[in-house]
Amino acid sequence: MIYKVVSLFAGCGGAECGLLGGFSYNNKGYANLPYELVYALDIDRKALDTHKLNLKCENVVVSDIRDIHEDSIPEHDMLIGGFPCQSFSTVNPTKDPFDDRANLYQEMVRIVKAKQPKVIVAENVKGLMTLHHGTIIKKIISAFEESGYVVSTALMNAADYEVPQRRERIIMVCVRKDIDKVFSFPLPVTANNRVPLSVAVRELAIADKKYYFSERAVQGMKNAKANMKRGLAQCLDEPCLTVTSHLAKVSLNSRDPVLLVDPTKELYRRFTPREAARIQSFPDSFTFAGSEADAYRQIGNAIAPVMFWHIAKSVLNVIGD
């Protein structure tokens, strides 16, 4: 049995890469899973160019979800989507949590009501759990419940699922009530033996100087006031801190993860796009369309493929007949 999947807010395809399986990462194979991607939607054309390069889907649509009529979306067994999360991020707690992007989950609910897939998997940032004392996530869960679903939620850390990155995300798995099966989240795989950053960063010193921070940037960090933000040099023996969509603009006066190449020379650098992709658990065979800045943005916005593989595999326990 092959289960048909629709992806909303698809981006470059991190979730879909994990969903479909059939790739290798960190010398381990992730088997093909019995899913078929029948529709992928995003407003970001460049991200979908990457999607097309790497994933098999004949119906890839560049559009604002608000302009999409539910009748144009094919029938499917499973709906996935990481609805935009900027308004829910803990990085910027002053962001308006009720702006237009925050309400895009309602568009997902609109399509759910019309199509009634067996299962929905939604993803968002950790901040959604506590924003406005939890009232927003309760509102979102209620909307899915009122659409006919039993909702299970968990805060999952990618580092517990074979990803060399401490990346916490709220995952909502909604099972249609008539299916009468209880979803169980996958148990942590690497909670006590996490994959180190060295899997993604093979060599600290590299030839291309464009990735290195200037001496001026280093001095600026050193001379900053004690209460100012500082770039966080990462230990290769542990998972990396969360990588974000502004990897191309990483600063030594921010809380972005960086690499300390040579302590004696105070030599720092940012991650290369391929290193960033590995931190997110993309296989090296996955290529990115557009400029390096485009690639960084796509990588930082993506769902970690390996973690999503574990989620999609667990969904099979409830989606099957």
The residues carrying an active-site annotation are 85
Residue 110 neighbours by CB under 8 Å, 6+ apart: 70
- Residue 222's φ and ψ, nearest 5 degrees, are -65, -35
**H or E element that contains 41:** strand 35-42
Q: How are strands ordered across the β-sheet holding 35-42?
A: 60-62, 35-42, 3-8, 78-81, 119-125, 168-176, 149-157
CA distance 108 to 90: 23
Cβ–Cβ contacts within 10 Å for residue 146, how many? 10
What is the Cβ-side half-sphere exposure of residue 1, based on CA atoms within 13 angstroms?
8
- Residue 102's φ and ψ, nearest 5 degrees, are -65, -30
CA distance 298 to 290: 10
